[in-house]
Amino acid sequence: MSVTNRTRALESISTRVTPTYAAQDDGAAPIDYYGKDVFNAAAIRKYLSRGAAEKLLATIQDGAKLDPGIAGDVAHAMKDWAIARGATHFTHWFQPMTGGTAEKHDAFLDLNEAGEAIMTFSGNNLAKSEPDASSFPSGGLRCTFEARGYTAWDPTSPAFVKRNPSGATLCIPSIFCSYNGEILDNKIPLLRSIQTLKQAVARFMANFGATSEHIAVTLGAEQEYFLIDRQFYLQRPDLIQTGRTLFGAPPAKHQQLEDHYFGAIKPRVLNFMAEVEQELWRLGIPAKTRHNEVAPAQFELAPTFEELNLAVDHNMLTMEILKRVAEKNGLVCLLHEKPFAGVNGSGKHNNWSVTYGTRNLLDPGSDPRHNRVFLAFLTAIIRAVDMRGDLLRCSTVTVGNDHRLGANEAPPAIISMYLGERLTEILNQVEQGVDKEISSKTSPLRVGVVTTPSIASDDADRNRTSPFAFTGNKFEFRMCGSSQSCSLFNMFLNVAVAESLDYLSEQIETLDRDDEFDVKLEQILGKVLAQHKRIVFNGNNYSSGWVAEAERRGLPNLTTALDALKPLLDPANSKLMQDYGIFSSIELESRYEIFTEEYFRKIQIEGEVARDMALNLILPVALEEYGELIKTLTSAKAAGVSAGLSTLQRTVEEIGDKVDQLRYNADKLGAFSPVVHENCIEYVQTTKDLRKSVDELELLVDDRKWPLPKYREMLFIF
């Protein structure tokens, strides 16, 4: 048998021993080490003077302006705390427009005037740093010769310690801007949008007699991912370079038996999950749910929801930790939206809500028909999603998500909202100015087993096909890609909702507070609902009928990424962003530049990797087989054998055919000039055509010689 790297990988996986589960801190319970590596309220109180601690906590918890006078004390305390945890370095941890995170470490170690080693970290070090900005995307905001960029401490997200086997680094969550103050990151717009939404909520709630309570925008980001053995990964240049498989024939069994979803978790995967959770818990990230997902080798991790800015940071860290711990366990975590063709891709379900004091504004309560705040808040969201759905769609653009949106497992590219029958009926009543009893649909479920405790059904079923679904007391935006930062979509959502709340507030503020108030309020809401209810769709979003229906309703269907990015250039959106002080028009346009540039570059990288692999890995193997078959055919003919000749002949012809197609498409890819708007679609199509010839060859060429790990191996063998 011929030995390929692929067979070596298989061999090494089959003999590997699952590492034994190493309990955290010698068996300590999660509650003992939860948040241990975070400079949280407990650490702040322990390491800072009482006055300074209260000031810092007021900023973190209540959004008070930070007293610059305490930066020195805070820095000192953070340093002592971090050093006690083994930290030798500190870094501003920020989120440039690459969509990832960035860090540049500095040692605490310095030399004093006498040349002796000391450990220093000043208030200045904490507050500000100056990384060279010239190598981060700016979309033309900044010329290369104006390289200066600043990172500045975001005190609302606590500092934390990131551990590595031989040390640790104090990480300070930070914003990132240019020398002239232009936004170069994903955090500043998010923070601005949170501020904006909170102001709008405060104004809105004042209409209902509520006085200033603590307001929080909340996010629970469910993270889907794939795991494969690292040995396989190392044999797949496409996975290494692009995060997805560019080739791979579909296996006979994939997910059609639906036997992976919620199945028993394999020990090796469970070990990995447990180790991830331990790391997350140490960092105060409340990982809560773990399970097998629909596709083979696909999984999900969901945390308990948190305040939005913190939840976004925590999701960035979660993605990093998933990847790192996977590697440690001989696995690779794939966060790409569509690593494998033909099976489900991965999303990031963005669960969003707003709390006012202890009240969740999206909680319908026991009598939603008469829950004025809930109805008005919901109406504002309906208006927001209808008016700014294009921005929400735009925020989900990634090269990977293109393969997911509209495929049969993910919401289509049309933004609509699911409310469920009961809420829809309530809103119809509001619109029509009637108030009739609505029967609750909750009922005891008849399970038919005496020993089972009695359970009640929920009020409304779920709709898994909706991109933006009301799920009881929050909205779940399901279009988001698994690899994305949560900042962009939440930023747009916050601003859109803020604008609609202000729109309602403006009208409600003119009403007299008399007996007529409720009726008049419903009239205002009714008008808005009449205008925007087209966005509500409770049916099957995957059906082809919906595409036609959505078109009839005038809802945009931005199927390609390039169309979906255009809303960034829309003057109406630009005005919204300027009115709310989020982006200048130049900053918004610069995002369009960055996203399209990145899109083209990634498309081209995929094409080039596919071409390299086709020519260097696949073609030689296919040609070798072709040559051998011809030799066999010739000697069979010479020997006067007749049986088998037609099979030999046909196989040679088929391989020859595919090889010609492969060469043709590879050459065609090679002849493209850089990918731009005009040739992008054709380039993508050629990459797909090339895949077709390679995948067909996979089914023809001797399995023992095929160099790439196959789908049936990567997705099933752990």
Site residues for ligand ADP per CB under 6 A: 218-220, 222, 289, 302-305, 349, 351-353, 360, 473-474
3-state helix, strand, coil in the chain (%, to 5): 50, 15, 35
The minimum distance between CB 302 and Mg ion, in angstroms, equals 5
Q: Which is nearer to Mg ion, 1 or 264 (CB)?
A: 264
Cα–chain center distance at 33: 27
Residue 451, CA distances (Å) to 444, 445, 448, 653 in order? 15, 14, 9, 66
390 is a site residue for Mg ion (CB under 5 A): no
DSSP summary character for residue 216: E
Q: Pick from Mg ion, ligand ADP, none: which does 95 bind, CB < 5 to 8 A by kind?
A: none
Q: Which two tokens stand for residue 257?
A: 């038996």
Q: Which is nearer to ligand ADP, 223 or 483 (CB)?
A: 223
DSSP element (H, E) containing 89? strand 87-94
DSSP summary character for residue 543: S
The minimum distance between CB 458 and ligand ADP, in angstroms, equals 11
Q: Which is nearer to ligand ADP, 153 or 489 (CB)?
A: 489
Q: What angle do CA 461, 467, 469 make, to 5 degrees?
A: 35
Give me the residues paired with residue 109 across strands: 119
As to burial, measured by CB atoms within 10 angstroms (0-12 exposed, 13-18 middle, 19+ buried), residue 382 is buried
Total residues at interface with Mg ion (CB under 5 A): 2
The minimum distance between CB 466 and ligand ADP, in angstroms, equals 12
The minimum distance between CB 346 and ligand ADP, in angstroms, equals 13
Q: Which is nearer to Mg ion, 362 or 697 (CB)?
A: 362
Cβ neighbours for 541, distance < 8 A, ≥ 6 positions apart: 411, 412, 414, 416, 463, 465, 466, 467
The minimum distance between CB 285 and Mg ion, in angstroms, equals 16
Q: Which is nearer to ligand ADP, 235 or 309 (CB)?
A: 309
476 is a site residue for Mg ion (CB under 5 A): no
Q: Which is nearer to ligand ADP, 351 or 484 (CB)?
A: 351
Dihedral in degrees, nearest 10, Cα atoms 417, 422, 425, 431: -70
The minimum distance between CB 363 and ligand ADP, in angstroms, equals 8
Cβ neighbours for 256, distance < 8 A, ≥ 6 positions apart: none
Q: Pick from ligand ADP, Mg ion, none: which does 687 bind, CB < 5 to 8 A by kind?
A: none
The minimum distance between CB 480 and ligand ADP, in angstroms, equals 13
Stretch that binds Mg ion, among 120-128, 219-227, 437-445, 651-659 (CB under 5 A): 219-227
Alpha helices in 544-613, H assignment, sequence order: 544-553, 561-565, 571-579, 585-613
Q: Give me the amino acid identity at 455.
A: I
Least Cα distance to 82 among 171, 174, 22 occurs for 171
Q: Pick from ligand ADP, Mg ion, none: which does 416 bind, CB < 5 to 8 A by kind?
A: none
The minimum distance between CB 107 and Mg ion, in angstroms, equals 41
Stretch that binds Mg ion, among 44-52, 217-225, 556-564, 691-699 (CB under 5 A): 217-225
222 is a site residue for Mg ion (CB under 5 A): yes
Q: Which is nearer to Mg ion, 291 or 705 (CB)?
A: 291
The minimum distance between CB 274 and ligand ADP, in angstroms, equals 18
Dihedral in degrees, nearest 10, Cα atoms 492, 493, 495, 496: 110
Q: Which is nearer to Mg ion, 222 or 313 (CB)?
A: 222
Q: Pick from ligand ADP, Mg ion, none: which does 313 bind, CB < 5 to 8 A by kind?
A: none
The minimum distance between CB 351 and Mg ion, in angstroms, equals 9
As to burial, measured by CB atoms within 10 angstroms (0-12 exposed, 13-18 middle, 19+ buried), residue 444 is exposed
Q: Which is nearer to Mg ion, 291 or 534 (CB)?
A: 291
Cβ neighbours for 454, distance < 8 A, ≥ 6 positions apart: 444, 445
Q: Pick from Mg ion, ligand ADP, none: which does 199 bind, CB < 5 to 8 A by kind?
A: none
Q: Which is nearer to ligand ADP, 261 or 503 (CB)?
A: 261
Least Cα distance to 502 among 202, 212, 195 occurs for 202
Q: Pick from Mg ion, ligand ADP, none: which does 317 bind, CB < 5 to 8 A by kind?
A: none
Residue 458, CA distances (Å) to 54, 368, 449, 537 in order? 43, 15, 20, 20
d(C-alpha 411, C-alpha 468), whole Å: 9
DSSP element (H, E) containing 470? strand 468-470
The minimum distance between CB 373 and ligand ADP, in angstroms, equals 15
Q: Pick from Mg ion, ligand ADP, none: which does 351 bind, CB < 5 to 8 A by kind?
A: ligand ADP
Diameter over CA atoms, the chain: 105
Stretch that binds Mg ion, among 220-228, 387-395, 469-477, 499-507 (CB under 5 A): 220-228
d(C-alpha 276, C-alpha 24), whole Å: 11
What residue is closest to ligand ADP based on CB? 220
- Residue window 293-312: x/- pattern of binding to Mg ion, with contact defined by CB under 5 A: ---------x----------
Q: Which is nearer to Mg ion, 474 or 532 (CB)?
A: 474
Name the site residues for Mg ion (rule: CB under 5 A).
Answer: 222, 302
